[in-house]
Amino acid sequence: MDGPNDAVVPLERLVALERDNALMLSYILDAHRLSLTLPPNATIDDVNYGAVDVPGMIERLRRNETYDLSRALTASGAARGAAETEQRARNKELTATEKANETASLERAKSMNPFEAMAANTKLGSVGEADTSSAARESAAAVRVDATFFNLDDDAPTTAYSGELALPELYSKLNDAELSELAFEIVATIDLDSEMLEAIRIALDVDEDCANAVQKYAQEHKSSVAEEGISARIHLRSMLAAVKEFTLLEDEAFYKKRCRAMCELLWSRQCDEQVEIMDARDQDDNEPSLTASNVLSEINRMLCLPEIDALWVESVAEMIESALDSKYSFSYSGIFGIRLYERLLRVMFDQVEDYALAYDAQDSIKSLERVASSLGLPDETSRGAMLAFAVVKQAIVALEEVGLDYGDDTSPIFSLLSKAREGLDRSQTNVSPQIASAVNSLLCWSMFMLRDFMHTVTPPAAHDEQNVPRIEPDVFNLIVCIAYDSAKMLGKDAEALLREACKQSARAEYKRLRATGMEEDNVTDGDATSASLRIIAQLTASAADSYSAHLERHITSSVGSNSPVTGCFAAQLGEDFKNDLFSWLASGPRLTAQSLETIWSVGDLQNALVATGGDAVEPIRLEEQTSILVFTWLNEKIDDLHKIVDRCISVERWKTKNDAAPVPSAVDFLRAVNETLDGFFGLRIPAHVSALRALTEGIDAAVGKYANAAVLSLGPADDIVPPVPELTRYKKAIVDDLHKKFVAASPPRAPFEEGCVGASTVRLTSLKFLLDKLDSLEKGIISKWNEMQRVASMLRHPNALHEVPKAAWFEDLMDLARQSLRRAIDQVANHMAFSVLYRDLGGAVMHNLYAHGVQRSAHNIGTEILPYVNGVLGYVAVRVDSSTRNIVASHLLQATVSAWMRVLLNGGPGRVYRPEDVELLEEEMELVSEFFLAGGQGLDSVDVAARISPMSALCTIVSLPTEYLCGQYLELVEKEKEVPPRESDRDFYYDVYTADVTLRVLCHRAEHAASKWVKAHFSIGKTEGGYSMFGF
């Protein structure tokens, strides 16, 4: 042996596994060993000896050559042996023949359901098919089946399913006419009345002269048949009876066809002779062995002779008698027997009325029971199965030739298939291999009929294709029953087969619907695929409804169950549509009105599918596909919202009004926000809750942008407070001179609408308008989101439960927008307050206040500041709500305190104070507090106290004696060297307990000792022009 693929088979193993004829075996036994070349992964168990070229093999072995068995393997062996080669070949596109070969090989190797290779198995091949040639013929048969749509071969069931050895191609096979003649020859030997015999002859279409000859020879051995029983010896005796005085009474075909019939028996018996062959070798007999294998080879040679004679007949008969030397050896083999019985069953059909059962069909079948038993059909189950097989063949012919259009009359197809169903007994699962072969043929045909029932059963089929015959629902019901009963008899999972048939029909139906949807699309602008998918969804829903209305009950009544079998039709439709839908969604279409309608159409489709398929229909996982589209849509809408903000800001003039109405830009911006929210909730498609957060955060950013623009439109705030005057020390003469020259500044005369008060108020009303509206919008967001997702969940499945997100997702929605608006309101109020104190009241504060010192009569807080502030608050109060008014009042109080302290600490050389002035200052503080408290109608007392506290602390410092202040200053300086003063975390809080504030109090102290101490420690002049150390 030369390679790793060679196998040396020991004699003992060979004897146990050998399935070839005696000539090859005898040579092997002489050689004691066999050198065979096998493909990778193949063993001697995989050899199909029926396909071995015996003479060629023997010749090669005699020359000590290795014999290659790679072309003589069984299907399973070929599948394993060629695994590596097939793996490479599968990467390329297989031709139609290669596909058929692979399907047939895998089916035999793995014992798959016949439906998995239904087209190839529908062709019922005759006995004697080797694996490779069988696959090729089955492929050809499949093409023919596809062309004619319905077909059941005229040949009897194949040995490929029954497990019998196949007669090789080198032996001639019997055609239909020859089988009919042999079948008639059988019934001619039994006791049948002449009328019945004539009916059988006519049914078998046997020539009258031929029938007379057959009957004549049958009469000669009728008594022997009566004694021995019916067996294949009848044909051998008829052949001998046709020879008289070394003269052939019939033509050569008469004898050859009976020889070929005997070959069927010889081939099926040759497997049982292995032990006898071994015994013959041990006896060392030089005479030729007349085993079945040897006789087969010899008959094949003799059949090839150009002429035959009486000696030829006698020799053949003698060899056959010797090979089949007991009466049991002449029993009909399984497949051969049922082929003959199937021909005899033609007697049950009416010879006058086409495609109908004869009125005495049951009697005819009853009269053939004895023959049926002799042909291998001993019980009612096997005979019923063959009856169904024969009737279905007749129904197919009727369907092909006349169709179903019988007007008001009952269709012959319905009657025939009803009879066929009666012959099948689903409760009987223990049937012989040959009967299983016939039942398998019925199963393959019926499954083929069911593979596209939406296109062939009317209704719902409504096409005009002439090459596709259509069947009625009642006939469809019978076909389903035949498929179910056949599968049960074969021990197969009938429900699984019907489910696969439903899936296959659904796939074919969807393919047509898809093509129709693409053709009907007439969209010129927009997404054509979207429009096509919408049409396909509608057509698919309609197909599910049609199936449920017209066909589902026929399947459920046959199976006896509901959705587990029939629901897969709707489920497959949904799966196929889902694949197209997801492919489109993955391409990233924009969420336009057209594309949304397509997505919404999924809901109607799911309703139709679930109504038909129930729990078998899986929810469509849309969220994973649509979430990306939703976020893309959000990006576009948020960008548009920012553009709207820019446009609103660019055209807004902030004109003051006499009412509390917001400016047009605020209204336009709010409308844009509303439209964005409504557009989002109007999508009504599944989306993750993070999309809602992204939307609100985008709105937050846009609101912040608008609020910031409203603040900036007031102008810069840095120049509102004027520069701080230079620090000076007390000089009585200078102070007296400034008091004499003082001229009071005039109070402001311009109306509030023309100044900062009007400008700030219109911004406050607009910002507060947005804040209130956004608060109301936020309250409705969660409910709208839940409704959106409830509706969207129905797109996935009508019974789907809406998954409620965790509460954390909904916390502080639009909180940043509220913060931005409140911060902007605060900034505008602060801007207005300081503008009022330092611009509108600039003269009253910087020039008039305490110009002649602290006194009750004039130029104090009560006379210079509070009356105007009261007017400002009155103007604001009628245009904004109380909360906004209080914000303005709080900032006005803060600005008042700021200006008040500025006068006390940075009032210039003309403003000096004594410790006694503290009493009057405290009175004014009380006045300011009561003003802003407004008898409980104004600010909160805590807020007022906190904002006026710096002034109170300053009064305390002013009240201290000069000597204490000087010492305190020095201590504070040393302390601040180690710990610098901290900055306040509140904008209205001033830390007056610092060295700088103490120094300023000393500089404004109307006392010579204080001025002298300042002069001794600092270079600070008596008039402005010196160095300014501090700016409050």
Whether 195 contacts 351, CB under 8 Å:
no
Q: How confident is the model at residue 77 (pLDDT cuts 50, 70, 90)?
A: low
pLDDT digits (tens, 9 = 90+) for 967-981: 999 999 999 888 887
pLDDT at 53: 66
Higher pLDDT, 215 or 1028: 215
Q: In whole angstroms, give the CA distance from residue 886 to residue 825.
A: 11
Identity of residue 968: Q
- Under DSSP, the state recorded for 117 is G
pLDDT at 31: 45
Average pLDDT of 856-871?
84
Q: Is the pLDDT of residue 825 over 80?
A: yes
Q: Is the pLDDT of residue 40 over 80?
A: no
Q: Looking at beta carbons, which pairs linking 277-284 to residues 24 or more positions away fall under 8 Å?
A: 277/22, 277/25, 277/26, 278/15, 278/29, 281/26, 281/29
Beta-bridge partner residues of 47: 73
Q: Could you state, in order of their start, the residue ranges of all structural domains in the chain?
A: 6-76, 165-332, 493-618
Average pLDDT of 164-173?
52
Q: What Rg, from alpha-carbon coordinates, does the chain have?
A: 55
Identity of residue 971: E
Average pLDDT of 883-887?
94
Q: Is the pLDDT of residue 660 over 90?
A: no
Whether 426 contacts 484, CB under 8 Å:
yes
Tokens found for residue 591: 């969420």
Beta-bridge partner residues of 349: 357
pLDDT at 22: 42
pLDDT at 941: 92
25-34, 127-136, 249-258, 536-545: least confidently modelled range: 127-136
72-76, 609-613, 818-822, 977-981: least confidently modelled range: 72-76
292-296, 571-575, 970-974: least confidently modelled range: 292-296
Higher pLDDT, 89 or 575: 575
pLDDT at 248: 86
Q: Is the pLDDT of residue 986 over 90?
A: no
Q: How confident is the model at residue 227 (pLDDT cuts 50, 70, 90)?
A: confident
Q: How confident is the model at residue 433 (pLDDT cuts 50, 70, 90)?
A: confident
pLDDT at 511: 93
Average pLDDT of 118-135?
32
- DSSP count for the chain of H helices, then E strands: 46, 5
Tokens found for residue 791: 């509706």
Q: Is the pLDDT of residue 670 over 80?
A: yes
Q: In whole angstroms, give the CA distance from residue 998 to residue 1011.
A: 13
Dump the DSSP string for 565-603. Answer: HHHHHHHHHHHHHHHHHHHHHHT-----HHHHHHHHHHH
Q: Name the E strands within 840-886.
A: none
What does the mean pLDDT of the chain come to? 78
Q: Is the pLDDT of residue 52 over 50?
A: yes
Closest by alpha carbon to 531, among 625, 601, 619, 482? 601
Check: pTM over 0.85? Answer yes or no.
no
Place of tokens 């201590």: 971
Most confident of 608-622, 724-738, 746-760, 933-947: 933-947
Closest by alpha carbon to 1004, among 993, 1017, 1020? 1020
pLDDT at 961: 93
Q: In whole angstroms, give the CA distance from residue 240 to residue 310.
A: 9
Most confident of 43-57, 122-136, 677-691, 877-891: 877-891
Q: Is the pLDDT of residue 406 over 60?
A: no
Beta-bridge partner residues of 913: 1005
Query: Beta-carbon neighbour count of residue 847 at 10 Å?
Result: 17
pLDDT at 783: 86
% of residues, the chain, pLDDT over 70: 75
In three-state secondary structure terms, 853 is strand
Q: Is the pLDDT of residue 1012 over 80?
A: yes
Cα 406–Cα 407–Cα 408 angle in degrees, nearest 5:
110
Higher pLDDT, 1022 or 361: 361
- Under DSSP, the state recorded for 130 is -
Tokens found for residue 1032: 């409050």
For residue 422, the Cα-to-chain-centroid distance in whole angstroms is 43
pLDDT at 372: 85
Q: Is the pLDDT of residue 188 over 80?
A: yes
* 710: exposed, middle or buried (Cβ count in 10 Å: 0-12, 13-18, 19+): buried
- Under DSSP, the state recorded for 934 is G
Q: In whole angstroms, give the CA distance from residue 73 to residue 50.
A: 10
pLDDT at 33: 44
- Phi, psi (5° rounding) for residue 927? -65, -45
Average pLDDT of 971-1000?
77
Q: Is the pLDDT of residue 143 over 60?
A: no
Which residues 6+ apart lie within 8 Å of 171 measured at CB?
Answer: 128, 260, 263, 267, 296, 300
Q: How confident is the model at residue 525 (pLDDT cuts 50, 70, 90)?
A: low
Average pLDDT of 455-467?
75
Q: Is the pLDDT of residue 163 over 70?
A: no
Strand-pair category, 247-248 with 243-244: antiparallel
Average pLDDT of 696-723?
91
pLDDT digits (tens, 9 = 90+) for 745-801: 887 878 888 889 999 999 999 999 999 999 888 888 888 888 888 887 777 666 665
Q: Is the pLDDT of residue 14 over 50?
A: no
% of residues, the chain, pLDDT over 90: 24
The H or E element containing residue 6 is strand 6-9
What is the helix, strand, coil percentage profile of the chain, to 5?
A: 65, 0, 30
pLDDT at 641: 94
Q: Is the peptide bond before 460 cis (omega within 30 degrees of 0)?
A: yes
Higher pLDDT, 257 or 84: 257
Q: Is the pLDDT of residue 262 over 50?
A: yes
Average pLDDT of 66-94?
55
